[in-house]
Amino acid sequence: MSGVTTFNELKTRSNTNKIYLAELTLGEHLSSGSWTKLTGHVYSKTYRDDTIMLASGASVTVRKELEKIKENGTTIIQKTSLALVKANTPSFFHNVTQSTLYLHTSNGSTPNQFTEVGYFTLRFGTEPKVLYSGGSKYYEPYITENGIPRLSANLPSIYWGITNISAGNLQLDNSTGFFDQISKKYLWIKKRCKLLVGGEDLPYSEYKTMFTGEIYDKTYTRLTLDLAIRSTSFDLLRSIPINHFWTSNFPNMDPAAEGKSIPVYYGIYDINQAPLVTCINTSMTTANNRRFKICDHPVSAITGVYLNFSDVTGWIEYPVDTGYGSVDLTNATFIVTAASYVTGQTKCKVAFHGAYSTASGTTSGAPEIVEDILLRLCGKIGDDLNTVSFTTSKTDSDVALNVPIENEVSALSVIDKICKSDLAFFDEDADGKYRYRTWSPLVTSPGALPSIQTDRDFTDMPRMIDDTVSLFYKIRVRYSYSANTKESLQTETSDVTSRYKYEKSEVLDHDTYIRGKSDADTLAQRLNLVLKDPSPILTGKTKLQLVDKVLGDKIKITMARSPFEVAGGYVGRVFEIFSISKQFSPAEVEIRARDLKELGGQVGFWTASTAPTWANANSDDKAISGFWTDADGYIDTANEDTLNGSTWW
């Protein structure tokens, strides 16, 4: 007994026994075999642990306790008694003591009419361990010496974008033949894999989840079972929009639209941004009437309809038919009456307000749009999202977007461009939940940040690299995308001082979903602020001190040299992690972090009533508060160190 019972102690002590756990939630097809019909539309069957034969001839038991059943892909409710299963449709109860499964299907008929898949968790460790989590659970010591994969996450761009999360192979020891039978008997592909780290005398609640993803491949040999695991973000490579125009659904539609995607539109589209719409009924009862469909979801308003008969006449505004049933906001359709309309030649575009929520109106904010894409278009549920990150970003984000999804693209590529428009990051947390983080350079509580001393905590020499790849003197931001001309407007900001100092003339072209010029100008100025000077990047390795960190976390770095006073270095300087890689034999965490360039410290709160004066400010106040400056850029004219010590964001 070491007395180490908290994760914080485990990661900060110099000598600790680390234990890694893998929890695999596997499936088993339950529909086959005989079921006994009971009263109340409940069916039962014997469902017991599996006894398997090892290579040595010994038999061992595989524990199975059903946690979830999916019926034709839909999760059904777990209950704790037969009576509750009778009363709830659909539901199930696994009586482990009696090795009996009770199942009430969604229509009360036999489970063999459905594909019923039961889910249970197998637990493995790098060492044998009994931990209490809803009952004592034994972690079988089948993870091989180097069996925990290196986990890494990094950002292709250090200021925005989708995180690349990679995971390798979880390797389990099969020298005893433990996996010979169960590798075939159970369903492994696309099933959940969760990796945790702990050790010493930690209770289960103190073990930290490092990664939650899915198994996508398995390789089985006489010696090992290798499970290839990856992030659940791969699910988001699915194409959106989901639905298409078919004549089977819209018999009289424009024949040229057959098979086209039914678009999805977020934001507010004016006359210039208005998209072309599809005629879904060219043969209405009333002469010269035609019905058009804008998109695949309800819209909150239609503000203008325009027809173009030829390049000579150009766009002409037409009144929307206001008769009963003409405008259908729920189905996003409207009727236009135009005698000169020729199907296949005349174009129609519409200004409107796109997808909306009853609570907050038209969905225009970047985090709100990403959330809607995940929940409505990608089939995710609220529990799949890291709600704290979305809630925080809804406050931090200040851009209004128009996101037209007209042709099939992957959901990830749309989210990537939204991140680009908002200076935001999209990734997964350790529990596999999707995170959206609008970037903020503010450091609100520097005193509370973890402090790393490179000499003491880094297992090798830290490296400091000036990143000149992300050095641009001019920023061009494209905005106000026109969904009918497929072109955008453009704004630019530059800093000639940067160009002369570094003699680099690269210009960043930044394509966005931003709707208006004001937001585009703000983004261009922010990009100019962070990209006009090289960004110092710190690379180094620690033991487990940083194992629970994720991208975007800030740390304070002290990198002293001796004699410190003349040799320079950093003391408690704030860095932000943008790349992290964790390996476990030996336990080591490699980070890459960018210097916030004191930007966080310089961002001002001039309008805050609590902002102190420079003279009265303590060191924390000076780090987090902005201060009025004189015309020469000094906060305190008597102190040259205060030059340009205050920054707009």
Partner 1 sequence: MANENILIFYKNSMVTATLTPSSTTGQFTAENLKDSLRTKVWTTAGGVTAGSASLQMRFGTTQTFNAIILANHSWTSVPEKLNVVFSNATGNWERISTRDVTGKFRVDLTGATTFAPSIDTFGNQNVICKIFTATQYQCAMLDVDNTVGDWDLGQIWLGRYFEPDFQALENYKETLVDPSIVQQTPGGQRYADIVPKHREVAFTYTARTHGEWRNIQQMYHEVGISKDLFISFDYTNYASEMTLYGKFTSMVPMTFNKNRVMDFTFRESR
By CB under 8 A, residue 135 contacts partner 1: yes
Min separation Cβ 182 and partner 1, Å: 14
From 315-323, 451-459, 502-510, 629-637, give the range in contact with partner 1 by CB under 8 A. 451-459
In the shown chain, the binding pattern of residues 172 to 211 toward partner 1, with x for contact by CB under 8 A and - for none, equals ---xx-----------------------------------
- Contact residue for partner 1 among 236, 419, 587, 599 (CB under 8 A): 587
Min separation Cβ 456 and partner 1, Å: 5
- Name which of 121 and 333 has its Cβ closer to partner 1: 121
Min separation Cβ 23 and partner 1, Å: 14
Nearest-angstrom CA–CA distance, 540 and 590: 6
- Contact residue for partner 1 among 23, 206, 457, 590 (CB under 8 A): 457
According to DSSP, residue 422 is labeled: H
According to DSSP, residue 564 is labeled: H
From 138-146, 252-260, 352-360, 505-513, give the range in contact with partner 1 by CB under 8 A. 138-146
- Name which of 162 and 544 has its Cβ closer to partner 1: 544
Interface with partner 1 (CB under 8 A), residue total 41
* Token code pair at residue 602: 């310089």
**Residues 6+ away with beta carbon under 8 Å from 161:** 155, 416, 419, 420, 425, 426
By CB under 8 A, residue 67 contacts partner 1: no
- Name which of 123 and 526 has its Cβ closer to partner 1: 123
- DSSP helix/strand/coil, 96: coil
- Contact residue for partner 1 among 32, 34, 39, 136 (CB under 8 A): 136
In the shown chain, the binding pattern of residues 528 to 557 toward partner 1, with x for contact by CB under 8 A and - for none, equals ---------------x--------------
From 347-355, 386-394, 406-414, 455-463, give the range in contact with partner 1 by CB under 8 A. 455-463
Min separation Cβ 463 and partner 1, Å: 12
- Contact residue for partner 1 among 343, 558, 585, 647 (CB under 8 A): 585
- Name which of 141 and 552 has its Cβ closer to partner 1: 141
Nearest-angstrom CA–CA distance, 155 and 431: 19
**Residues 6+ away with beta carbon under 8 Å from 154:** 163, 164, 551, 578, 579, 580, 581, 592
Residue 218, strand partner residues: 227
Backbone angles phi, psi at 197, to 5 degrees: -125, 140
Are 70 and 78 within 8 A, CB to CB?
A: no
- The label of the residue with tokens 């972090």 reads 593
Min separation Cβ 141 and partner 1, Å: 7
In the shown chain, the binding pattern of residues 305 to 344 toward partner 1, with x for contact by CB under 8 A and - for none, equals ----------------------------------------
By CB under 8 A, residue 150 contacts partner 1: no
- The DSSP annotation for 346-405 comes to -EEEEEEE-SEETTTEE--BHHHHHHHIIIIIS---GGGB-HHHHHHHHHH---BB-EEE
Nearest-angstrom CA–CA distance, 108 and 86: 10
- The DSSP annotation for 296-321 comes to SS--SEEEEEEEES-TTT-EEEEPPP
By CB under 8 A, residue 98 contacts partner 1: no
The residue ranges of DSSP E strands in 599-638, in sequence order, are: none
Are 328 and 300 within 8 A, CB to CB?
A: no
From 301-309, 381-389, 459-467, 623-631, give the range in contact with partner 1 by CB under 8 A. 459-467
Min separation Cβ 123 and partner 1, Å: 10
In the shown chain, the binding pattern of residues 34 to 53 toward partner 1, with x for contact by CB under 8 A and - for none, equals -----------------x--
Task: Determine the straight-line distance between the first and last CA of the chain, rounded to whole angstroms.
Answer: 52
By CB under 8 A, residue 562 contacts partner 1: no
- Name which of 459 and 485 has its Cβ closer to partner 1: 459
What DSSP element (H or E) covers 415?
helix 411-422
Min separation Cβ 467 and partner 1, Å: 23
Torsion angle in degrees (nearest 10) through CA of 563, 565, 569, 574: 140
Q: In the window 588-617, what residues touch partner 1 (CB under 8 A)?
A: 588
Min separation Cβ 158 and partner 1, Å: 26
- Encoded amino acid at 495, one letter: D
- Contact residue for partner 1 among 1, 34, 39, 57 (CB under 8 A): 57
Nearest-angstrom CA–CA distance, 358 and 377: 18
- Name which of 130 and 284 has its Cβ closer to partner 1: 130
- Name which of 552 and 572 has its Cβ closer to partner 1: 572
Min separation Cβ 556 and partner 1, Å: 17
Is the bond into 563 cis (omega within 30 degrees of 0)? yes
Please report, for residues 131, 196, 208, the alpha-carbon distance to residue 19 in angstroms, rounded to integers and kept in the order given: 12, 8, 11
What DSSP element (H or E) covers 599?
helix 599-602
* Token code pair at residue 238: 């699915």
Sign (positive or negative) of CA dihedral 276, 279, 280, 284 = positive
Nearest-angstrom CA–CA distance, 258 and 265: 20
- Name which of 475 and 559 has its Cβ closer to partner 1: 559
Q: In the window 231-270, what residues touch partner 1 (CB under 8 A)?
A: none
Residue ranges binding partner 1 (CB under 8 A): 14-18, 51, 54-61, 63, 65, 127-128, 130, 135-138, 140-141, 175-176, 453-461, 543, 585-588
